[in-house]
Structure 1
Amino acid sequence: MTEQVERTEVLPALAGRLATARGPLDGLRTAWLLLSALLIVAGLLTIAFIRPARDATRVEARLAAGRAPRSRWSEEVSARWTL
């Protein structure tokens, strides 16, 4: 529970610092613009990298082979950290 609280306090702290440094109106406007830019970039990355048809094919192939559906990343990580 504490981790989530600490993570959620980052954006209000950033907005507060910007409001203090640049003045209330300019600081909050800058915080909104930064958040908007972050959301746009995240949306574009999502569009570029998530392919539901490809992922469904991969999951179906793994299920047909009797293996649990996992991502490539999780397989690489588990292979590196297996003792």
Structure 2
Amino acid sequence: MDKVTAATAHEALTFVGAGRGAVEVGASARRYYARPDVAYVHVHDAPPVEWALVWRADAATARVRAFAEAAADLVAEHR
């Protein structure tokens, strides 16, 4: 099989749907990228996927910092 490179998640799943590869994704991908041509298979012994907020350093406005702080507080409440 030839090597293919995808620039986006949608492009990667298009390759998968065409039978040209496989991609490891987090469980949320099934919900956000539902496709009839792709089967999502749970890997029971895989480590959990961790998520983080990211933004450009030169775009760290007061709103961005406030949102990040609110998100961190929300996560802390659920741990």
Structure scoring higher RCO (CA < 8 A, sep ≥ 6) equals: 2
Higher helix fraction (1 or 2): 1
Under a length normalisation based on structure 1, what TM-score does the superposition of the two structures give?
Answer: 0.27
Under a length normalisation based on structure 2, what TM-score does the superposition of the two structures give?
Answer: 0.28
